[in-house]
Amino acid sequence: MNWDWEKLKEQQKAKSPVPPQMDEYVKKIKKLKIPGGPVVLLVIAVLLFGSSMFYTIGVDEVGVVQRFGKYVRTSQPGLNFKLPAVIEKVTKVKVRRIYKEEFGFTSSVPGQRSRFLPGGNDNRNVSLMLTGDLNVAVVPWIVQYRIKDPYNYLFKVRDVRKLLIDMSEAA
């Protein structure tokens, strides 16, 4: 049985045409005219900017608004308005939450007061205290705090844990 290679190639071309080249796609896109194309692009841009202009603040937090990185204002809970995302940024700070830092130990299960795990060497050194009769005592301690002023918390205070460690070493 002889094969007719020419006839076979013609059948293959008839079954699966050659895929169009990229140039053909570019020509089709250039020919495509969307009525009101600039208007559609403008509407999309307005929707994108508009969605970044409204934000909500939860009941237990406040928003610190920065314009180009500089503090502008503090916004209260609820629905608020700001300039687009490129210009203004909002940082939410929880002001009603009580934060906790532990020194000399770590809680095994957060929220339970009865179970504690001894800390590592770096954490244990913080809890060492010199007594009046020149003995060394291990005194684990907890600091609880609430953020009173979000501006000072974000821009004026260093890392709280580092600050407390520095205070304990100075004493």
Mean pLDDT of 42-53: 85
pLDDT of residue 74: 95
Give exposure, 76-96, as e/b (b: 16+ Cβ within 10 Å). Answer: eeeebebeeeeebbeebbebe
End of a domain among 94, 124, 154? 94
Note whether 74 and 153 are same-domain residues: no
Which domain-ending residue is among 59, 94, 129? 94
- The more confidently predicted of residues 162 and 120 is 162
Q: In the prediction, which pLDDT does 170 show? A: 58
Same-domain check for residues 39 and 122: no
Residue 51 CA to residue 168 CA, distance in Å, equals 47
Same-domain check for residues 19 and 78? yes
The mean predicted confidence, pLDDT, of the chain is 78
Rg of the Cα atoms in the chain: 33
Least confident of 23-27, 30-34, 38-42, 47-51: 30-34
Q: What is the pLDDT of residues 53-82, one digit of tens each?
A: 899 999 999 999 999 999 999 999 999 999
Q: DSSP state, 158?
A: -
pLDDT at res. 171: 53
64 exposure class (CB count in 10 Å sphere: 0-12, 13-18, 19+): buried
In this structure, the answer to whether residues 80 and 9 fall within a common structural domain is yes
Total domain count, the chain? 2
User: To the nearest whole percent, how much of the chain has pLDDT over 90?
Assistant: 24
Last residue of a domain, one of 94, 121, 136: 94
> Which pLDDT value is given to residue 132?
84
| Per-range mean pLDDT, top range of 30-44, 101-115, 119-133 | 30-44
User: How far apart (Å, rounded) are the C-alpha atoms in residues 89 and 157?
Assistant: 20
pLDDT, position 115:
47
Range of the domain at 18: 1-94
Query: 15 pLDDT band (50/70/90 cuts)?
Result: low
pLDDT of 60: 94
pLDDT in tens, 110-144: 655 544 455 454 556 677 778 888 888 887 878 88
